[in-house]
Amino acid sequence: MINFESQHFQKLAFKEKQIDQFLMSAQHDLTIAESTDIPDVVFKFSYDALIKLGIMLIAKKGYKVRSTAGHHIKILEKLSQLLKDEDIVVLGNKMRQERNVNLYDGGIFIGEKDSLEYLEFVKSTFKKAGV
């Protein structure tokens, strides 16, 4: 059984429609990532899709992540636990760190090769989730 710590997650009963909206938003971002050849756009939307997938799967379990420092880490940890795949937290955290450097520390360049590898990782995570 997965423990949803109360300092990071709030028990909340979501309606099926809300969960479907979370999924549609995640799939929308994945579609954007797949439909461009700009590496930074591929990376950004792949990362966003991964986080939104985690939010959706957590919501299906009846929890909402609290918006606190480090909440993306917690989403990635739970996504990894829910799908029983340690690589999700490892690669997801690497993406999170690169996103943070890009956002908060003046930016980095995500190359085409890396962005496409991240996209494939995110697509495989969606497959593991059955969506």
Task: Name, in order, each residue with C-beta under 8 angstroms of 102's C-beta and a sequence gap of 6 or more.
Answer: 40, 108, 110
What is the pLDDT averaged over residues 95-123?
A: 84
Tens-digit pLDDT profile for residues 2-38: 999 999 999 999 999 999 999 999 999 999 999 999 9
pLDDT of 103: 66
Q: CA 114, CA 91: separation in Å to the nearest integer? A: 12
Q: Check if the beta carbon of residue 5 is closer than 8 Å to that of residue 73.
A: no
Nearest to 51 by CA among 87, 86, 88, 18: 88
Backbone angles phi, psi at 99, to 5 degrees: -60, -45
Tens-digit pLDDT profile for residues 40-51: 999 999 999 999
